[in-house]
A and B are shown apart, each in its own frame.
Chain A
Amino acid sequence: MQRLSTKLILLLALCFAGVTPASAQQNPPANAELLKRGEYLARAGDCIACHTAREGKTFAGGLPMKTPFGTLYTSNITPDPQTGIGTWTSDQFYRMMHDGRFPDGGLVYPAMPFGSYTKVTREDSDAIYAFLRSVPPVKQVNKPHELTFPFNNRSLIIGWRTLFFNEGEFKPDPTKSAEWNRGAYLVEGLGHCGMCHTAINALGGSSESQAFEGGLIPMQYWYAPSLTSNKEAGLGDWSIQEIVDYLRTGVSARGAVYGPMAEVVYNSLQYLNDEDIRAMAVYLKGLAQGSSPDKPPPAIPSAESSLLLSLGKQIYDRDCASCHGATGLGMPPHYPPLAGNQSIQMASAVNAIRMVLNGGYPPGTAGNPMPYGMPPFAQRLSDDEVAAVVTYIRTSWGNRGAPVSARQANELRTATLK
């Protein structure tokens, strides 16, 4: 029966072959289930976040991506034949995802995360392809990139590829569970988590040997913590449920997402199903196992730092304790705890300083549609006060962060808000 209907479809396709354009010939009509799977996988890959401009048409591209080398504009990936990818075959699409090459063999800038997508299976790539062919075509010519010399020369990408690009589909680890492997596939592949959570070097590459070790995201001035170490993200100490909550709803008993991570949850992770989020959590928890937090620094406060601390405590009690609690316990999940929160004790104090300056809301998600927010303090606290209160939360209640200076606070004050 099944074979029969497949044959029928083939026959039908052959009948129409004479009248349909060449591109459609190679791509038999997709079924609803395939389209749904493709849509889901496109969510997991967060294609929409980059390929849709603010208030722009979905998948029509044009979003500016600032890099230290200039601005890149994302491409139109709707099926419009002239300005989108309407004439691409599934082979050409797979080549782009897997090998970072245009149909004519030209090299793609790694801002398109093919370095991660290379792990995606051919089957999944085909599903995403089928889905993208089903979205409304938009006629919108791609904006040319504005890169400085010599980065405007695509042949330079060869150097980057030699250093940082390892082509190859995901290979399951037979010694690990199916769940772990599913998580690894999503995190390393479609999720392209390493794009932010790995130190970016001067060439704009994330290096494989330091995968998931964390780093400052250039131009955005947010620090993506290491996912491999308990000194930073510290997921080794979280329960699976806490990681699941964090990734899917944006809030958890241990902390809330903010900055660029809020975008990831808002556009991508909140749409993933229970099994996939759990699998990611299992994999992430495993990554962080085996390293233990740093020993507390010797507690011999200098005269200055104790002054800083008493000013910090004053500000904390006045401006922060109403939500985060007098002893930093917060009111989870809505007001995250600060005591024992790894996210504010990392060597890099960038995130804690920016939270105080800019405030923020976790993303509104299906699991947490009306998140509680934190007010910005940039307009109310001086650089000294910001430094004092951040030093206070980094070093109180057993927290082991280092003090921060007014200069650090000042530098981030001028960091651009998008």
Chain B
Amino acid sequence: MLACASCHGAQGEGTSDVYFPRLAGKPAGYLYNQLVAFRDGRRKYPPMNYLLEFLPDDYLKKMADYFASLRPPFPEPAIPTVSDAILARGESIVKNGDAQRGIPPCASCHGPSFGGMEPAIPGLLGLRASYISAQLGGWRYGTRTAAAPDCMQIVASLLTEDDVKAVAAYLSSRPAPADPSFAPQGSLPMPLACGSEPR
């Protein structure tokens, strides 16, 4: 995995580049789906698309298992650079959603403490604000797609620029989860069907 370390860190902990995500400890099924999506060009980031182009499923599975099994310490939470009002707006969306505009609570799939759910829903902590907004932007502009039905595409397209900013600021300011384990499969309500997450 040396070829990955220069961007994701030797333990998959991420690097100082705010755009390079942490891999360690995410559900193996989620990581595997991402590797397949990069290889097949469904999720776009040319350097990774290129590296993975001719690697078979079995090998991608081993890479996913490897990074899922690592538990390097989480980074320090970011010190918010936005107003308290924006942070509160972010907290409200992730915990309660916005019923009027049809936005489901993020917690209904990602877990009440945002730890993720087996086998394929990732946790949302330990990510940097710019990475989170880039991913939500990717879904809105079609450079990131997940297996159909792509629930995150629906969720992301309901959010305004301001919502994205608020959500990203709130999530990145949260401390590392005390218990880094995932919710068991099927234990969260999931208001929408997701192609990557069997119910």
Contact B41 A54 (CB under 8 A): yes
**Contact (Cβ within 8 A) A359 B51:** yes
Is the CB of B141 closer than 8 A to any CB of chain A?
no
How many chain B residues sit at the interface, stated as a range, is 20 to 34
Q: From residue A335, how far is it (CB to closest CB) to chain B in Å?
A: 10
Say how far A165's CB is from chain B's closest CB, in angstroms.
31
Residues on A with C-beta less than 8 A from B40 are 54-55
Complex contact B41–A373 (CB within 8 A):
no
Contact: A378 with B47, CB < 8 Å?
yes
- Chain B residues whose C-beta falls within 8 Å of the C-beta of A374 in the assembled complex: 3
A375 CA to B3 CA, complexed, in Å: 4
In terms of DSSP, what is the predominant structure of the interface of chain B? helix
Contacts of A378 in B (CB 8 A): 47
Interface of A is mostly: loop
Quick check: is A376 within 8 A (CB to CB) of the other chain? yes
Q: How many A-B residue pairs have CB under 8 A?
A: 71
Name the contact of A418 in the complex, choosing from B49, B56, B58, B62 (C-beta under 8 A). Answer: B49
User: B62's closest neighbor in chain A, by CB?
Assistant: A370
Docked-complex contact B49 and A417, CB < 8 angstroms: yes
Is A379 at the interface (CB under 8 A from chain B)? Answer: yes
Are A373 and B3 interface neighbours, CB within 8 A? Answer: yes
A372 to B2 Cα, complex, angstroms = 8
Closest to B57 in A: A364
Q: Say whether B54 contacts A262, CB under 8 Å.
A: yes
B98 CB-CB contact with A under 8 Å:
no
Please tell me if the beta carbons of B47 and A55 are within 8 angstroms of each other in the complex: no
- Complex Cα distance, B93 from A357, in Å, reads 41
The contact string, 1 if C-beta is below 8 Å from chain A, for chain B 111-135, is: 0000000000000000000000000
Beta-carbon contact of A263 and B62 below 8 Å: no
Q: Closest CB-CB distance, A306 to chain B, in whole Å? A: 29
A54 and B17 alpha carbons, distance in the complex (Å): 30
Pairwise interchain contact B2-A361, C-beta atoms closer than 8 A: no
Output the least CB separation between A113 and chain B (Å).
21
Output the least CB separation between B48 and chain A (Å): 9
Please, could you name 29 A-B residue pairs with CB atoms under 8 Å apart, sorted by A?
A54-B41, A55-B41, A262-B54, A263-B53, A263-B54, A266-B54, A358-B50, A359-B3, A359-B47, A360-B50, A360-B51, A363-B54, A363-B55, A364-B59, A369-B58, A369-B59, A370-B59, A373-B2, A373-B3, A375-B2, A375-B4, A375-B5, A375-B6, A376-B6, A376-B47, A380-B6, A418-B46, A418-B50, A418-B53
- B residues neighboring A (CB under 8 Å): 2-7, 17, 40-42, 46-47, 49-56, 58-59, 62
